[in-house]
């Protein structure tokens, strides 16, 4: 929108910095690249936003669902939003009138439909995000969300560290930990696929309290230790940024250095769609890299416990798990002990010396004969978690597998989204 050429009032889309857990879902979903961020805040550019609402359903906290009626000439800039610690109040009728806006003025921009997937619209570009669903499987258990947080009745809950073990082999830059937090008598119900926010102590370089960091839960619904009110997390110590520049991640280093007995401030839980199916004979295909294995571990362990109880007849479990080397793969040892008739494990390593690079999408194509029937099966669900760079390759692999099997991808892709079957959680 050319705001300089417009007059009147704008329904400006804003993100609440008090609630946002910086999960990047909104920026990854936005079809017009209207959302950006810095080290502190996620913000919406009013000059680009077309109110398509594509970013609303995936947000786990509701921080994205905020609006302010503004004179277009006074719309909040990206630069201004990046400085906020909280949302500004709505302008009063008198304040709008002082800016020349009539009381009955209509917004200059009306909502429009989100853009269609490339395969449907006829565009040449492929948009993997357009196939990801925001709906949980029909048989998923009810998820409790936002019980604790900046604007909840209870700001946060205190958890106690009851376990902290390393789950990767020696190599400082690949230091990944399995951390168990116990909530005692405080209610904190979770499901496989949900996440929590950890609030690091202290302040940033500007003297403001650190914002929460989001971590996927790696334990099943009845606890890391069955029957106890605890959760586990899979956290990699961050010692460099995406460009390789040395940087010490505030939350990851804080968490990896915790000792048994230490206290941690937690908010959440978050997430109401990346949930596993609960109906008998449902199939689950899990595709992940690195610490994206956390929700996959939770789902696998819940199915394993159900199997051991003899009270649930589960369908197929397939895992496609990628890392640079075997030494960097979290939980490599425990994975080897899972029964072959329980889970079908496929490991991809991209940096093994004297071996060709292999990625999860390569393994998926090798297993096309097994994946194609699952794509067509309404009882099969696909979960993708890990670095954003993997997402497009994985969804393209699914598309190619469908086409090679003689399936209509437009029909399959639409069904995956509409029926809550393809879940994308990348960062």
Active-site positions?
A: 215-216, 385, 425, 427
Token pair, residue 371, equals 């994946």
The Cα–Cα gap between 326 and 168 comes to 9
Tell me the C-alpha distance between 339 and 15, whole Å.
Answer: 46
Show Cβ contacts of residue 370 under 8 Å, excluding neighbours closer than 6 positions.
318, 344
Residue pair 233/179 in contact (Cβ under 8 Å)? The answer is: yes
């Amino acid at each position: 929108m050319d705001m300089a050429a417009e007059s009147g009032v704008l329904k400006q889309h804003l993100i609440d910095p008090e609630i946002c857990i910086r999960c990047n879902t909104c920026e990854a979903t936005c079809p017009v690249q209207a959302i950006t961020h810095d080290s502190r805040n996620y913000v919406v550019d009013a000059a680009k936003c077309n109110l398509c609402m594509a970013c609303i359903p995936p947000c786990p906290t509701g921080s994205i669902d905020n609006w302010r009626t503004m004179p277009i000439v006074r719309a909040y800039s990206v630069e201004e939003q990046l400085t906020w610690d909280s949302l500004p109040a709505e302008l009063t009728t008198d304040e709008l009138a002082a800016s020349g806006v009539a009381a009955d003025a209509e917004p200059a921009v009306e909502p429009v439909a989100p853009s269609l997937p490339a395969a449907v619209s006829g565009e040449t570009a492929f948009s993997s995000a357009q196939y990801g669903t925001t709906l949980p499987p029909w048989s998923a258990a009810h998820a409790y969300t936002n019980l604790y947080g900046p604007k909840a009745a209870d700001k946060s809950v205190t958890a106690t560290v009851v376990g902290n073990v390393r789950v990767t082999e020696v190599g400082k830059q690949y230091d990944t930990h399995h951390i168990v937090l116990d909530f005692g008598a405080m209610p904190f119900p979770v499901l496989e696929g949900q996440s929590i926010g950890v609030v690091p102590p202290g302040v940033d370089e500007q003297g403001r309290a650190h914002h929460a960091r989001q971590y996927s839960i790696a334990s099943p619904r009845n606890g890391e230790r069955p029957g106890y009110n605890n959760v586990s997390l899979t956290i990699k110590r961050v010692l460099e940024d995406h460009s390789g520049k040395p940087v010490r991640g505030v939350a990851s280093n804080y968490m990896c250095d915790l000792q048994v007995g230490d206290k941690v401030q937690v908010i959440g839980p978050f997430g109401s769609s990346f949930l596993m199916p609960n109906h008998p004979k449902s199939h689950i295909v899990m595709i992940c890299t690195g610490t994206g294995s956390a929700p996959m571990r939770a789902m696998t362990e819940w199915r394993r416990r159900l199997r051991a109880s003899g009270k649930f007849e589960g369908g197929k479990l397939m895992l496609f798990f990628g890392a640079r080397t075997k030494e960097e793969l979290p939980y490599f040892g425990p994975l080897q002990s899972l029964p072959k008739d329980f889970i079908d494990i496929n490991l991809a390593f991209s940096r093994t010396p004297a071996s060709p690079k292999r990625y999860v999408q390569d393994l998926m194509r090798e297993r096309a004969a097994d994946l194609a029937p699952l794509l067509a099966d309404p009882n099969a669900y696909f979960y993708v978690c890990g670095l954003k760079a993997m997402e497009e390759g994985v969804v393209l692999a699914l598309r190619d597998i469908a086409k090679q099997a003689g399936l209509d991808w437009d029909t399959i892709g639409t069904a995956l989204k509409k029926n809550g079957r393809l879940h994308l959680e990348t960062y």
